[in-house]
């Protein structure tokens, strides 16, 4: 499971000209799922994201977590995070899970992060053509892969 997390001052997801999720201070989480992912990846990644100390404290030092600042989050499915670009110029997405595997894991991740954060989170629409707008704060952008947690 791969995630790109971006600390944002604001973010929104629009589908077919309708805004379906919108937040202010928090994280935009782009989530890529592969067949090897399971419940342990979901739990570890959710806890890591919610507790990652990337928000400024009163001294301006990145020392506070999403949970500590009571920030919001949007989770957007992003199969392109598993793009293989070693050969040629056209990315291959063979490692990205098909919807029958990815959708249940995506939904379980959303449920887990809501439990860990203690509030509802915004989402995208799986498989839809989404327009994601954000104002990256910092900028702070971090990539996390559950296969590299050791």
Residue 132, phi then psi, degrees to nearest 5:
-110, 125
Q: What are the φ/ψ torsions at residue 45 (nearest 5 degrees)? A: -65, -40
The residues near 51 (Cβ < 8 Å, ≥ 6 apart) are: 65, 66, 67
Residues noted as catalytic: 80
Residue ranges of domains in the chain, CATH in brackets: 2-148 (3.50.80.10)
Chain position carrying tokens 């919108």 = 22
Q: Which residue has the tokens 């860990």?
A: 116
Enter the pTM of the model: 0.95
**Beta partners for residue 133, in sequence order:** 12
Bridge partner list, 18: 15
Is residue 55 classed as helix, strand or coil in its secondary structure?
A: strand
What is the structure's pLDDT at 75? Answer: 98
Per-residue pLDDT at 149: 82
Task: Give the integer Cα–Cα distance in Å for 5 and 52.
Answer: 10
**Tens-digit pLDDT profile for the chain (150 aa)?**
999 999 999 999 999 999 999 999 999 999 999 999 999 999 999 999 999 999 999 999 999 999 999 999 999 999 999 999 999 999 999 999 999 999 999 999 999 999 999 999 999 999 999 999 999 999 999 999 999 987
Pull the structure tokens for residue 142.
Answer: 């971090």
């Amino acid at each position: 499971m791969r995630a790109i997390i971006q600390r944002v001052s604001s973010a929104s997801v629009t589908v077919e000209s309708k805004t379906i999720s919108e937040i202010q201070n928090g994280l935009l989480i782009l989530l890529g799922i592969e067949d090897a992912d399971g419940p342990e990846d979901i739990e570890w990644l959710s806890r890591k994201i919610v507790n990652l100390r990337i928000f400024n404290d009163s001294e301006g030092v990145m020392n506070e977590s999403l949970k500590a600042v009571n920030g919001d989050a949007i989770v957007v499915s992003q199969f392109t995070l598993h793009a293989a670009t070693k050969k040629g110029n056209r990315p291959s997405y063979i490692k990205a899970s098909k919807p029958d595997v990815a959708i249940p894991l995506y939904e379980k991740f959303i449920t887990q992060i809501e439990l860990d954060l203690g509030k509802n989170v915004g989402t995208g629409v799986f498989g839809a053509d989404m327009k994601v707008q954000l104002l990256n704060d910092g900028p702070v952008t971090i990539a996390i892969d559950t296969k590299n947690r050791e």
